[in-house]
Amino acid sequence: MVPACRLADLPRGEAFRLESDPPVAVFHTDDGELYAIDDTCTHQDASLSDGWLEGCEVECPLHASKFDLRTGSVDAPPARLPVRTHQVLVEDGMVYVMLSDAVPNLPRTCAVARLAGGLV
């Protein structure tokens, strides 16, 4: 279980980016629900925590792919692969994320960049 942020610091309609590897986005919806998904869009390297949150759906800030926060599934292209979802817990006003042990669907451009970064 990884601590993300204080609930008081994550108002409704906002997102928090957890700098894990790979990073995770925690969303607080307008209805008061908390969801966590991988932060990196599966299409290309973009941060979903910068995206447009509407209901239980986030639109990638770059190429407008949409993901369902509850399931991680793709609601709109160009992305074709789902993002991983992670469990969220709140304890004593602190938001925690239970990271999924599934294999993430990172975009190829991002994976190449990471590899290049690792070789430097």
Partner 1 sequence: MKTVAVVGASLAGLSAARSLRGQGYDGRLVIIGEESHRPYDRPPLSKEFLTGAVDEAELALEADGEDLDAEWILGTRAVGLGIRDRSVRLADGRAVRADGVVVATGASARTLPGSDGLAGVHVLRTLDDARALRDDLARGGRLVVVGGGFVGAEVASTAYGMGLEVTLVAAGPTPLSGQLGPDMAAAVSLLHADRGVRLLCGTGVRGVTGKPGEPPTTPWTAARGSGRGRVAAVLLDDGRSIPADIVVVGIGANPCTGWLEGSGVALDNGVRCGADGTTSVPGVVAVGDCAAWYDPALAAHRRVEHWTGARERPAAAAAALLSGGTAPFTPPRPPYFWSDQYGVRIQFSGHAAQADSVTIEDGDPADRSFLAVYRRAGHPVAVLGMDRTKLFTRWRRQLATAAAPVGTA
Report in angstroms how near the CB of residue 69 gets to partner 1 at its nearest: 16
Q: For residues 14 and 33, which CB has a smaller minimum distance to partner 1 in the complex? A: 14
CB of 57 within 8 A of CB of 75? yes
Q: Which of the residues 33 through 92 are near partner 1 (CB under 8 A)? A: 46-47, 49-52, 61-64, 74, 76-78, 80
Q: Tell me the β-bridge partners of 81.
A: none
Minimum CB distance to partner 1 smaller for 36 or for 110: 110
Helix (DSSP H) and strand (DSSP E) numbers for the chain: 1, 10
Edge-first strand order for the sheet with 85-91 is: 2-6, 94-98, 85-91, 34-38, 24-28, 14-18
Nearest distance, CB of residue 74 and partner 1, angstroms: 7
Residues that bind partner 1 (CB under 8 A): 46-47, 49-52, 61-64, 74, 76-78, 80, 108-109, 112
